[in-house]
Amino acid sequence: MKLQGTSRINEQGHLEIGGKDTVELAASFGTPLFVYDTQMIRERAQAFHEAFRAQGVNYQIAYASKAFSCLAMLQLADELNLSLDVVSGGELYTALEAGFPMERVHMHGNNKAPEEIDMAVANGVGCFVVDNFHELKLLSKAAHSHSKTVNVMLRTTPGVEAHTHDYISTGQEDSKFGFDLSSGQGDEAVAEVLADQAMHLLGFHCHIGSQIFDTTGFVMAVEKLYSYIASWDETYGYAPEVVNVGGGFGIRYTEDDDPLAPGTYIEDVIEAVAREAKQRNLSMPEIWIEPGRSLVGEAGTTLYTLGSEKDIPGVRRYLSVDGGMTDNIRPALYEAAYEGIIANRADEPAKTNYAIAGKCCESGDMLMWDLPLPDAVAGDLLAVFSTGAYGYAMASNYNRVPRPPVVFVENEEARVVIQGESYADLIKLDQPLHAPVKA
Ligand SMILES: Cc1ncc(COP(=O)(O)O)c(C=O)c1O
Ligand SMILES: N[C@@H](CCCC[NH3+])C(=O)O
């Protein structure tokens, strides 16, 4: 695997990230450990900004905070002039506590609870990405009761299928997300929002899926959406101020992945919107996107310590790490592929294929099935690449495994941004039946 960002192999043959030796990071903070190369996040955000500026359109880049949310990450996103996609009261709370400007927060969710809607209205989020009719009712009620006008984006499902894993594909008709366009749900929703004094219709949103490597799906979604926008223009004299094409821009997990530069997605989307709008005599809307993975995915590396080995001659050599599905559920959930190296002997050539197992009581707790490594022994440090998105964010305490710490590294400095959980943390919400009877 080609090293990315600030990662390099230093004179000791150790993997270094952000000028920090990963062997030292593991010694200081323990393993498993999530290490984020924050310079890489800055560069990614910059690349998206530059791509938009080059096209001269008004835009917002909303970081999809579901990919990785914590106070420090959201403060970094703010520093990078990103807006923020939040999907729950908890993500919104994190944004509030981070001091993220609420006017740049976009409130998502396919089943927003009345309390979450109320919280978002009260705090003045920039817009609601409304998913369904139930939510429209709740939102209207909340907006009226706060005597506020709320900005609304309608989430639509344009009927475009992204070529990705079924579970991370969202733009197809048969999806739990958004208003279905072909059955007329979009028309009804537009009428409802336009008729409500407490709502301002900003425009339309679609998100076709994740880990997408070409622009065809985005262009098709724009074309499809515009065929409806044209009819809403005719019927209601309404044209959108904003079109949001979601996130889903692919990243490199393995050598087989060949992601496009951020600029390519942006150029193709803008070209498609400009063409569609012009053809229908509509003004060019602002273009918004919602990248998660492409901002933080490749910036994250997980460090594990290798432990037990099991060799089944002629079948497979298993090596176990001190984490697994509790810090990275993606291989078990989506058969997601990863690559890694022995971080303390990063200059040695690979000799043997290993199956990398987690420590949970599940046969499916496998991180990789065929990872070529130099002969590895217990105590070696395994670095798994591109774990920055939906790794920590989807971590669990299954088997009562504490969630690992997270550090940001940059310019030879490491900073803990999420502490590792202790065993005491694991039981802090437990309510015992009685005081423990100690023998
Ligand atoms: C509505 C929406 N926007 C943005 C994203 C971010 O996707 P990704 O992290 O693949 O860029 C997602 C997740 O797939 C999503 O559901
Ligand atoms: N969690 C997912 C993708 C879906 C995210 C949001 N719709 C992943 O790890 O790839």
Same-domain pairing of 142 and 169: yes
pLDDT of residue 160: 84
Q: Whose CA is nearest to atom 10 of ligand 1?
A: 248
Active site residue: 70, 127, 206, 361, which one? 361
Q: Which domain holds residue 16?
A: 8-30+299-426
- Respond yes or no: is residue 361 known to be catalytic: yes
Is any ligand 2 atom within 6 A of the Cβ of residue 108? no
Is any ligand 2 atom within 6 A of the Cβ of residue 66? yes
Is any ligand 2 atom within 6 A of the Cβ of residue 390? yes
Same-domain pairing of 257 and 132: yes
Q: Which amino acid is at 262?
A: P
Same-domain pairing of 158 and 19: no
Is the N-terminal amide bond of 32 cis, ω within 30° of 0? yes
Same-domain pairing of 54 and 174: yes
390 is in an annotated binding site: yes
Same-domain pairing of 346 and 218: no
Flag whether 434 is in a domain: no
CATH number at residue 13: 2.40.37.10
CA of 292 to the centre of ligand 1 (A): 6
Residue ending a domain, among 262, 294, 326, is 294
Q: Whose CA is nearest to atom 16 of ligand 1?
A: 207
Same-domain pairing of 282 and 177: yes
Q: Residue 267, class by beta-carbon neighbours within 10 Å (0-12 exposed, 13-18 middle, 19+ buried)? A: middle
pLDDT of residue 273: 98
Task: Kindly report, residue by residue over 38-89, the tens digit of the pLDDT.
Answer: 999 999 999 999 999 999 999 999 999 999 999 999 999 999 999 999 999 9
pLDDT of residue 166: 52
What is the chain's pLDDT, residue by residue, as a tens digit (439 residues)? 789 999 999 999 999 999 999 999 999 999 999 999 999 999 999 999 999 999 999 999 999 999 999 999 999 999 999 999 999 999 999 999 999 999 999 999 999 999 999 999 999 999 999 999 999 999 999 999 999 999 999 999 988 866 654 544 555 677 888 999 988 899 999 999 999 999 999 999 999 999 999 999 999 999 999 999 999 999 999 999 999 999 999 999 999 999 999 999 999 999 999 999 999 999 999 999 999 999 999 999 999 999 999 999 999 999 999 999 999 999 999 999 999 999 999 999 999 999 999 999 999 999 999 999 999 999 999 999 999 999 999 999 999 999 999 999 999 999 999 999 999 999 999 999 999 988 7
In testing the pocket of ligand 2, which one of 88, 129, 155, 168 has its CB within 8 Å of the most ligand atoms?
Answer: 168
Flag whether 1 is in a domain: no
Same-domain pairing of 175 and 216: yes
CA of 246 to the centre of ligand 1 (A): 6
Residue reference for tokens 């918004």: 288
3-class state of residue 36 by DSSP: strand
pLDDT of residue 306: 98
Atom of ligand 2 nearest to the CA of 330: 9
Sign of the CA dihedral with 20 first, then 21, 26, and 27 last: negative
Could you tell me the CA-to-CA distances from 323 to 241, 292, 381 in Å, in that order? 46, 24, 12
CA of 292 to the centre of ligand 2 (A): 9
Flag whether 431 is in a domain: no
Same-domain pairing of 102 and 245: yes
pLDDT of residue 192: 97
Closest CA to 18 of 296, 415, 367: 415
Residue ending a domain, among 261, 294, 327, is 294
Flag whether 381 is in a domain: yes
Look up residue 17 and give its two tokens: 């990230």
Is any ligand 1 atom within 6 A of the Cβ of residue 297? no
Same-domain pairing of 262 and 357: no
Flag whether 436 is in a domain: no
pLDDT of residue 269: 98
Q: Tell me the whole-structure pTM to 2 decimals.
A: 0.96
Flag whether 3 is in a domain: no
Is any ligand 2 atom within 6 A of the Cβ of residue 210? yes
CA of 358 to the centre of ligand 1 (A): 27
Flag whether 385 is in a domain: yes
Flag whether 78 is in a domain: yes
CATH number at residue 122: 3.20.20.10
Same-domain pairing of 131 and 255: yes
Structural domain count, the chain: 2
Q: Can you spell out the DSSP letters for 378-418?
A: TT-EEEEES-SSSSGGG---GGGPPPPPEEEEETTEEEEEE
In whole angstroms, what separates CA 141 from the centre of its chain?
Answer: 31
Atom of ligand 1 nearest to the CA of 389: 9
Could you tell me the CA-to-CA distances from 376 to 150, 189, 351, 381 in Å, in that order? 57, 58, 10, 9
Same-domain pairing of 126 and 48: yes
286 is in an annotated binding site: no
Residue ending a domain, among 245, 261, 294, is 294
CA of 199 to the centre of ligand 2 (A): 30
Same-domain pairing of 123 and 227: yes
Q: Whose CA is nearest to atom 5 of ligand 2?
A: 168
Look up residue 46 and give its two tokens: 């910059």
